[in-house]
Structure formats: structure tokens, C-alpha cells
Structure 1
Amino acid sequence: MAQRVLVTRPEPGATRTARRLEALGFEPVLLPLSETQPLPVARESVPTDATAIAVTSANALRHAPSGLIERLSRLPCHAVGARTAESARQAGFVSVNEGPGDAASLADMMSIELGKATVVYLCGRVRMPEFERRLGVNGMRVVPIETYDTVALNPAPSFVHQKLGGQPIDAVLVYSARAAAAFGSLMQMQAEADFLMRDATCFCLSGRIAAAMIDGLRVEVAPDPNEDALLALLGDPD
């Protein structure tokens, strides 16, 4: 019998991950514990001296207003990895540079290539400061433009019951600290969820996310902060 893997990330990423899990032989169970919501953005927020764009999340592009993308699309876009780069091309950016897959390495690459430039950073309201800090240390002016927010979800017991189907969960994929906190609340507040998931191993995308998990759970951390490394931790599906 295939391992049942709970996917806590928001849509549309949850469905994309489910397809990957199915292809690997696992049984995905979708229970997003956070969601992304667009934020209002004024076109005038773009600095006139901007020479490049940085993106570390495809959600920043998905929620960006069309007018903002139109204004920025002629500037070179530096994307964190392959999927975000493809999202940038689909959004309409003419020149897209694909990064090495993590924000810190992207910052180092941009610092070498661009020098003391002014960079527009399309991002979420909830984000780690390391990317901006790293660029700033290297002399860049970073102008963040927040296009979306990430909020935790508190699914009703009836919804959780329907999703879990009365069967135990073998593994849980956790992609953000918000989802980690929401998962902890779920386990503490809903007896059925605790019973069906107490023996699951929680695979977290980073150490920061793992630190947000409640005590008493089995937790493993991906060696690199990307989904390929996270899914590799699952091992054999049977």
C-alpha cells in the first residue's frame, strides 16, 4: 500500500506537488494550511532608476497586477530557479535570468553581475530578510514591492475529516513557518487529526520551518530548500 503524504502548501502549488507525488507512487492528500492573497500595488511604486528585477517566489508574479508587470517587463528579471523563471517568461518578461535555486545564491550572483544597481524585488509580505540583506551588504539598493500576503488557514473538523478519510497519514510536507504553526494548532485542537497524524514524519523545507513545529513530532529537514530535496526524503513509496 502506497504511503499517504499530506500536502500542506497553498494552491496552485498543492496540486502541482500532488501530481509529482502520484508519479513517484505516493498517495497525496491535499490539506492546504495557508493561502496567498493579492495585495494592492501602485504602478508608481517602481523607482525610476531601477535597472533589474528580482523574484524569489512564483506567487509574487502570479499576484502582480498586469500594469505593474507591463511597466517592469523590459528590465532583466533575475529569478531564483527554473520554475520561477518560467513563470516570469509567462508573465511577459522579455529577458529572464535563471538562478541557482536558492535566494542566497541568487543574491550573490546578482551582486557579481550587477554591482551597485537599484533592484526591484517582487515579493510577499511574509518573507525572510536574508535575500535583501545580502544584496544590501554588497552595495545594492533593494526596493521591495509586495504583491501578495500569506495567511494561515484553520480548516473545520468536518473538512479535515473528509480529507483524511479516516486513514492514517504517513508523511507531512511542510513548506512554510505559517503552515507549520497551523499544523501544530490542527493537531492540538482536533482529536481526529492528532490520532491519524501523530505517527507521521513531518518533512520541512528548512530548519526555520522545522523550528516552528510543535514538540513531540518526528521532523526531518530537507538538505536544500527546494522541493526536489524535500521529496527525496520520502524514500520508497511502499
Structure 2
Amino acid sequence: MDAPLMRMLVTRPEPDAQSTLARLAALGIEAVAAPVMVRQTLDTSLPPADGFTAMVLTSTNALRALDERDMLARYRHLPVFAVGDRTAMEARAAGFDRVSSAAGAFADLVNAMTIARVPGPIFYPAGRHQSADLAGALAPLGVMVATAKVYEMVAVEALPADIVAQLGGGIDAVLCYSRRTAQIFAALAGDVPVDRRRHLGMLCIAEAVAEPLLEARFSRIALADRPDEDAMMALALAFAREQTGP
């Protein structure tokens, strides 16, 4: 068996972190997970499904939160607009029959809904911390959005000591999947020396994710071609091969 190409750190929450570790291992890349956020389901009041024309999903965490509250059945009859293919796949697995994927980022989702001329009102189960405003984006179209904050991603207080030590030497790259993840990681990795930050590869799913890392003086940034897991795996493999050779 070939030796691992290098060692990477996965910062995304569970259970997604384990899926990413498995995919990296299949590429011959050794990796370790240190999620910087933990999901908590919120006991928010949820609206009845009557009257909604569709449901929007920008994260699989919304599905998980609804499932934990045993509320998925209430909304399964609604067509679903998902931000990406992974979220769409999870929605289908959860029993939703009419699911479409914008196959991209938030702007792609808004564009897809604009083209579809969804009349509204729309149900949007979301996280407490939102990186974009769906209601504001659809307001010019006259589409009403009912947002219910069904989960919260809570930042961990510290990285494990062994991970901090490896960031000083041993971990070659860090995978970041959201802007908030990058912000939290940058804060938790404050003791990593500046010269080390210049050499540590930061693999980001989008340009917006890289911005807080650059502000924290992590300067070796690489961006995925698309905001999805397949593109992140391609980025990780390309980065590893660049460092170690084919």
C-alpha cells in the first residue's frame, strides 16, 4: 500500500467530518478531524405546512434538526430547493420526492428560484447564524419567506492540545468549509506562529471562506473550483501532489 501523501486537518462538524476523512483516506491522504463547531437543535416554534409552496434548504443540518424533532413528515409534501447536490441527496434520502439542486452557492440558489418563479410563501428552516439573507434576496421578487431557526452551530472553546501542536509542524493543510468555520479556526489557532501560518496550506471551499484566514495572516490559500465536496477533494489531492510529487 502506498504511503500517505501528507497529513491534513478537517475542521467541519460531525457527522460530515467523518465522511470527509473517509474520502481523503481513499485518496491516500492521512487526515484527522477537529470540528470547531457542534450542532445543537433548537426548540423553535415551527409553522404548519399549510400554505407554503416550497421549502428551501441551505444545509443538511436543517434536515437533521427537523428529524431530531420528529418534524420531517409535516413538510415532506413540499417541493424542496436545495443549495447543492449533497443537500439535495440528503433531502431525497429523508423522503422528499420533489427536490431540485442549485448545484452551487447561495447566489446560485437565489438564481434558480428566480428562474423557477416560485410564488411563495416559502418555508426556510435555517441555522441561528446565517451567512446570507434569503428573505432579503427574494423580497424584490415579492416572495415571502418564513424563516425558522432550527439549529445552532456552537463554537468549541479550544482545539485539542495535540492538534495545536501538530499545527506547529505535522499537519500540512487545513480544510475549511464555511466562513464561520474559518473565523473560529483562526481565533482558536492564535498561538500558531506567524511564520508557520505562512506555510500551512488552507484549503477553502470559496473565496469568502478565505477572507478571515488572510486577515489572520494565513497566507497560503487555495480555493476549490466549485463550492462542493467533490471540488474540495480535487483541491486536496492537487495540493498533496504539488507538495509530494505525483
For the superposition of Structure 1 and Structure 2, which TM-score range results when normalised by the shorter chain?
0.7 to 0.9
Alpha-carbon distance in 1 for matches of 2:227, 2:167: 30
Change (3 A) 1:165 1:223: closer
Residue of structure 1 equivalent to 2:202? 202
Which of 21, 24, 32 in structure 2 is aligned with 1:29?
32
Q: CA deviation at 1:177?
A: 2.6
Q: Does 1:119 align with 2:92?
A: no
> What SS does structure 1 have at the residue aligned with 2:189?
helix
Q: Hey, what's the Cα distance between the residues in 1 that align with 2:29 and 2:197?
A: 16
Which among 135, 138, 142 is matched to residue 135 of structure 1? 138
Deviations 1:70-94 (A, max 9, x none): 2111111122222211211222323
Match of 2:56 in 1: 54
- Distance in 1, Cα, partners of 2:202 & 2:33: 15
Q: Is the 8 A contact 2:134 2:145 kept in 1?
A: no
- Share of identical aligned residues, percent? 35
1:97 is displaced (CA, Å) by: 2.3
The C-alpha deviation readout for 1:148-193, integer Å capped at 9, x for no partner, is 111211335545368x4995111110112332223223322367xx
Q: 1:150-165 to 2 correspondence within 5 Å? A: 150-155=153-158, 157-158=160-161, 160=163, 164=166
Shift of 1:33: 1.2
Distance 2:227 2:94 in 1: 24
Deviates more, 1:133-142 or 1:117-126: 133-142
Most deviating of 7-16 and 127-136 = 127-136
1:229 Cα offset (Å): 2.3
Quote the Cα distance in structure 1 between the aligned partners of 2:132 and 2:168. 40
Per-residue CA deviation, residues 8-54 of structure 1 (Å, 9 max, x unaligned), is 111011011111111111111111111211111323x2464211111
* Structure 1 match to 2:229: 227
Q: Residues of 2 paired with 1:75 and 1:157: CA distance? A: 42
Aligned alpha-carbon RMSD (Å) = 2.6
Give the corresponding residue for 2:45. Answer: 42
Partners in 2 of 1:147 and 1:16 — Cα distance? 23
Report if aligned partners of 1:7, 1:14 keep a CA contact under 8 Å in 2.
Answer: yes
For 2:93, give the aligned amino acid. Answer: Q
**Alignment CA distance shift 1:215-1:197 (3 Å):** closer
Sort the Cα spacing of 1:19 and 1:197 in 2 relative to 1 into closer, same or farther, 3 A: farther
* Whole-Å separation in 1 of the counterparts to 2:97 and 2:218: 49
In structure 2, the partner of 1:96 is: 99
In 1: Cα distance, 2:56 partner to 2:167 partner? 42
Distance in 2 between residues matched to 1:83 and 1:216, nearest whole Å:
29
- Aligned counterpart, 1:147: 150
Query: Contact 1:151–1:178 (CA<8 Å) still a contact in 2?
Result: no
Query: Using the alignment, how far apart are the partners of 1:165 and 1:101 within structure 2?
Result: 31
User: Would the aligned equivalents of 1:2 and 1:27 in 2 still touch at CA under 8 Å?
Assistant: yes
Q: Distance in 2 between matches of 1:119 and 1:156?
A: 38
**What is the identity, as a one-letter code, of the residue corresponding to 1:187?**
A
Q: Does the 8 A contact of 1:5 with 1:170 survive in 2?
A: yes
Whether 1:16 aligns to 2:19 is: yes
Q: TM-score, normalised by structure 1?
A: 0.85
Amino acid at match of 2:108: S
Counterparts in 2 of 1:144 and 1:199: CA distance versus 1, 3 Å: same
The 1-side partners of 2:190 and 2:207 are apart by 22
CA 1:115–1:90 in 2, change beyond 3 Å: closer, same or farther? closer
SS at match of 2:203: strand
